[in-house]
Amino acid sequence: MVRDSGSPRVDAESDFLRARRHQVLSGLAARLRNDTDDVVQSMSFDDVVEALGRRAENYLGTKVIPLDAIVGSVDKVRDFDRRFRPTSARSRQRWERLARASRTGEVIPPIDVYQVGDYYFVSDGHHRVSVARSMGVDLIEARVTAIETFLAPVGIGARADLELKHWRRLMLQRVPFTGEARAAVAVDNPFDYGVIAETVEAWAARMMHAEGTYMDKETMAARWYAEEFAPVLELIEEAGVRGKDERPAEAYLRVAGERYRLIREHEWDAEIMDAVKGKGKRKK
């Protein structure tokens, strides 16, 4: 609750102390919940864009944006938390000066932000955002530059999400899946994306050697999905060896690894699947 004592100076001081108190209590609650630091810290614009892959940028002009959509910073991730409460008293005087200006009706210039999907990252105006949020404001004027990324900017609430996005992007750059194939190769372990890429490339190398032809990356991705992944996933489902909460790509990697460990073959058929299911040797 924002209080008004009639003295902008006193109220600004109270605003800052309240914001700092809430930040400290929020950090304590996060520790009690065993949250990782990246859940409560302001997100790094550079980390997000590096994980998603930067394609282009486009200046959109001045817009009014929701404060709740501002989640991070370009260069001050340690100075403010995820809700832009100050993490120290280092810039208290500047913060209180802006709070007084806001309370007395002075014109506050627009902030500068980068837009990545539905998220905004502050490049200039961190204290203005912090003051506005502390006073319960919902919207703020901003000069917006939109960033287009290789991966869709969704589901990036924590650093672990960025790591997953990073490895998925690298995999898709090596193996450019599209459509249903792109959705089907999702995994929860980021390092599995490297295994998928290596698996597809090894399969393509065997096919090119057998056929005496060359296939580009797009053809490699499409053929592996249609000729290897989809048929094998059907065998996995028929054999009942897919785990209850296991993603299709995770089931493929696990069963493929088990098959090769037991049988040392790259072919698939019902007999091989029975051997994998029973963890036995294939009959010769």
For residue 175, pLDDT beyond 80: yes
The single residue listed with the structure tokens 């008004």 is: 4
Decide if 131 contacts 99 (C-beta within 8 A). yes
User: Are 246 and 200 part of one and the same domain?
Assistant: yes
Decide if 158 contacts 48 (C-beta within 8 A). no
For residue 276, pLDDT beyond 90: no
User: Are 64 and 101 part of one and the same domain?
Assistant: yes
Q: Is 61 helix (H, G, I), strand (E, B) or coil?
A: strand
Q: What is the CATH number of the domain that holds 98?
A: 3.90.1530.10
Q: What is the pLDDT of residue 278?
A: 59
Structure tokens at 31: 């520790």
Mean pLDDT of all residues in 200-214: 95
pTM exceeding 0.85:
no
The last residue of one of the domains, among 131, 149, 167, is 149
Range of 221's domain? Answer: 175-278
Q: Say if 262 falls within a structural domain.
A: yes
User: Are 30 and 139 part of one and the same domain?
Assistant: yes
DSSP one-letter code for 135 = T
Residue 84 φ/ψ region, left for φ over 0, alpha for ψ in the -120 to 50 degree band, beta for the rest: left
Angle at 200 between CA 251 and CA 188, to 5 degrees: 40
Q: What are phi and psi of 244, to 5 degrees?
A: -60, -45
Mean pLDDT of all residues in 11-16: 80
Element (H, E) at 184: helix 179-184
User: Are 59 and 134 part of one and the same domain?
Assistant: yes
User: Are 98 and 186 part of one and the same domain?
Assistant: no
Give the Cα separation of 250 and 189 in Å (integer).
9
Query: Between 109 and 22, whose confidence is greater?
Result: 109
The pLDDT-based confidence of 279 (bands split at 50, 70, 90) is low
pLDDT digits (tens, 9 = 90+) for 119-163: 999 999 999 999 998 888 899 999 999 999 999 998 887 777 888
For residue 195, pLDDT beyond 90: yes
DSSP state letters, 64-133? EEEGGGEEEESS-TTTBBTT--BSSSTTHHHHHHHHHHHHTTPPPPPEEEEEETTEEEEEE-HHHHHHHH
For residue 1, pLDDT beyond 90: no
